[in-house]
Every structure is written in C-alpha cells, then in structure tokens.
Amino acid sequence: KLLASDGTLLMMNRAGLEMIQADSIENVKGISLAPLVMPPYRDDFNRITDDVFHGSAGTLTFEMAGLKGRRLWLEIHAVPLRNEKGDIIALLGISRDVTEQKRTEERLLKESRFISAVLDTVGAIVVVLDRNGRIIRFNRACEHLTGYSFDEARGRHVWDFLVPPDQRNGVKSVFAHLTTKKLPNKYRNYWLTRDGRSVLIDW
C-alpha cells in the first residue's frame, strides 16, 4: 500500500483490500487507515508513519479491524518512497497477515502459564533443563527447598551450584544419558541449599 504523509490511503493492491475488507480501491482511497488500527497500537502506527516521512524505515506488528469488523494481526514493513529528486512522496508499506501466528503464540503462552501454575502447586520439586543442562523451570517447591529463587536459578547449570563438587561428574553423566534417550530408572544425589545444608534428592 501507499500512504500519504497524513496517513490517508493512496493505493492498495487486491491482497491489501481483502485484508481490510474493502471491495475496491475507490471505496477506500483517501481515507485514513489509523482508525482501523486497534487503540493499543494506534500511536505506534502513527509514529512509524511519521518516521517514514522523516526518512526512516520501520516494522510494526499490530492488530486491526477490517471495514466489516473482522479482527486480524498484520506485520508491516514501511519505507519511504522517493521521486526522482529524492523527495519522499509516500509511505510504501508491505504487509503480511500474521493472525494465525499470533493466535498460536497466545495459545502457547496460555499453555505455558497453565503448566507453570500446575508445577507451582504440586508438592514435588520440579526442575526442567534445556539440552545443555541449564535451568529453564524451577518450581516453588525447589525455591522453598533450596532457598534460591527461580530468577536466581534461571539459565544456570544445575550442577554448578546445587550439586556438591564430588557428585557433579555423576550428575553430568546421567544428564548426558538422558539427552541420548538412555533413561535410567532412578538416581540419587545431594543438593546444596543456599544456607549450606545437604539434602538428599531421589529422582
């Protein structure tokens, strides 16, 4: 699409017209697109428009409502369009519909929050590590047992601060087996709490 400096529409292709639920360019030429943008994103939309007419390019993801009320998410990359003299004459916006992507992200976020809530209510300690052994989940039972908060534990190797030095190689070996799907039935080692106590963990 092409926008004038005041945000009014100059030109839009068929795909763009379908996104905003317009039947033809004649029906929407000269209107401002800002009112179609949902209020939380309208200031950013106006800002990126202003930036383009000052010579900058930008990308924005925002929610909007079509002319017939359909809600959708768009990602727009906006750049200045210049004439042969180098003057900026319009905003050239290349948009793509990212509605399904945003819905998937929102669903995964809800699932993640639900899982976190469940992990925080169970009585057992639950630690989730990435493939490198760094902590990515550390539930409330872990915090109570060890004295470390999740923010303090996040991103650290579990054996660097929770496992006594003489047991680190054993824990690393078990973890290496887990990453190659050689699953032991049970393992037992000590954890060191923040206040220096040793706690035997059976996992």
Residue 55 confidence (pLDDT): 94
Q: What is the DSSP secondary structure assignment for residue 157, as one 8-state letter?
A: B
Q: Strand, helix or coil at 133?
A: coil
Q: Count H helices, E strands: the chain?
A: 8, 9
* pLDDT tens, position by position, 158-192: 999 999 999 999 999 888 888 887 766 688 999 99
* 188 strand-pairing partners: 202
What distance in Å separates the CA atoms of residue 103 and residue 21, rounded to the nearest whole number?
Answer: 20
Region 87-116 average pLDDT: 89
**HEC readout, 3-38:** ECCCCEEEECCHHHHHHCCCCCHHHHCCCECHHHEC
What distance in Å separates the CA atoms of residue 156 and residue 42, rounded to the nearest whole number?
Answer: 40
Q: Strand, helix or coil at 121?
A: helix
* pLDDT tens, position by position, 101-115: 998 988 888 887 887
* Residue in 7, 18, 85 with CA at minimum distance from that of residue 49: 7
Q: What is the DSSP secondary structure assignment for residue 168, as one 8-state letter?
A: H
Region 131-141 average pLDDT: 90
What distance in Å separates the CA atoms of residue 170 and residue 163, rounded to the nearest whole number?
Answer: 10
Query: Do 20 and 59 meet the contact criterion of CB atoms below 8 Å apart?
Result: no
The model's pTM: 0.59
